Amino acid sequence: MPHESRSVLAVSIVAAAVLWNSTVLAYSAIPSRGHAVLSNLAIDLFNKCVERGYGEPEFLLNRNERERIVKANLNEDRTRPLRRALNWHFYHPQMESRQRTLLFINRSFIPLFSRIEARLNESELSWNDALHALGRAIHFMEDLTVPAHSVPVFHGAGLKDAFESFRLSGTPSAQALKARISPNIKMICYRLSSQRPYAQSDTGAPGVPSGEGSLSLREILNRTRSFTLARLDNWICDEPDSLRVSWHYFWLPPKDDRFFGAYREGAEFGQVSDITDNGMSCQVTAEKYRNFAAGLHLEAVFADVRTLYWFSEKHAREPAPGLAPRLTPSEHH
């Protein structure tokens, strides 16, 4: 093929990718919704934990630092359309070797995330640049609490993911999440501040530290995805004599060696109220939808806070003169 023809083909493919991938977003990039709600709540919780002694006082994030982190998070979806088109926000680590499509398009966000990791590991990174990279990393933690990005199931080119567009899940309620966090704040701070690997939890609380050594950024990412997939394995209905069907009903896992799974035809998350099979049924109430979504929203916040603790340990600032040392989490607990 002549060089000029190859160039035209490449431009055409990129243009098509921009259009095709224009709606592949997890949560909303609108400042009052989605990602902004989750990351602001995570920073609130992180600061509250530090104020309670679970971290050194110099770790506290001020308003300007908060704004930089949240802005970088939101910009991962809404800026640099070419980068966004060539790096989709899905993750299927078992099929990472097959994640490329259309020659140079990454279906997985891992190439982007790897560059963020490398950036955060730079020894001469400025504080502002570190905060920017932190905001970008947090974006992908939150993305993985959207089932369609963790299974993954493709959505784009006008095809919206129902979890992200459903009012009970696409726009997390900060007030409702705070109500779930507040009664257990001491235990939550203790668990999130640990840098050790942690077990999954079915209670909606952070997992218990269960291993030795410190978590890496990639391990936090992978455990967040594992949490989401474990949530999908839970039964929608566990009442006696009800139909046993898991939340994977809405997001079907990939088959064979495929990168993407599929949406169940005619069954949209948030719109199904009764699932029937062989004379048995499962009632999917608004409360069940709400609790399922809230569990994933909480995990997004907890993953963010774990990332903030990881960042604080790696990019710790010098203590301000005259500040007395705080208790360590183990001493406080």
Q: Could you report the per-residue pLDDT of 204-219, keeping only the tens digit for each?
A: 889 888 888 889 999 9
Mean pLDDT, residues 43-54 taken together: 97
Cα gap 38→299, rounded to integer Å? 10
Q: What percent of the chain has pLDDT over 70?
A: 84
**pLDDT per position as a tens digit, 232-249:** 999 999 888 899 999 999
More confident of the two residues 6 and 27:
27
pLDDT in tens, 265-299: 999 999 999 999 999 999 999 999 999 999 999 99
Instruction: Report residue 316's pLDDT band, with 50, 70 and 90 as the boundaries.
Output: low
pLDDT tens for each residue of 110-122: 999 999 999 999 9
pLDDT for the residue numbered 135: 98
Would you place residue 332 in the very low, low, confident or very high pLDDT band (cuts 50, 70, 90)?
very low
Nearest residue to 21 via CA among 77, 62, 69: 77
**What letters, b where the CB count within 10 A reaches 16 and e where it falls short, cover 104-121?**
ebbbbbbebbeebbebbe
Q: Kindly compute the dihedral angle of the four CA atoms of residues 151, 156, 162, 163, in this order, to the nearest 10 degrees.
A: 50
pLDDT of residue 130: 96
38 φ/ψ angles, rounded to the nearest 5 degrees: -65, -45
Residue 8 confidence (pLDDT): 31
Q: How confident is the model at residue 20 (pLDDT cuts 50, 70, 90)?
A: very low
All residues at 6 or more sequence positions from 30 whose CB lies less than 8 Å from its CB, including other chains:
36
Q: Is the pLDDT of residue 136 over 80?
A: yes
pLDDT in tens, 187-202: 999 999 998 888 887 7
241, 278 Cβ separation under 8 angstroms: no
For residue 192, the model assigns a pLDDT of 95
Q: Helices in 122-233 by DSSP H: which ranges?
A: 127-143, 147-150, 162-165, 174-181, 185-193, 217-233
Please, are residues 289 and 123 in contact by the beta-carbon 8 Å criterion? Answer: no
Q: Tell me the pTM.
A: 0.86
- Write out the two tokens for 210: 């269960």
Give the gyration radius of the chain's Cα atoms. 21
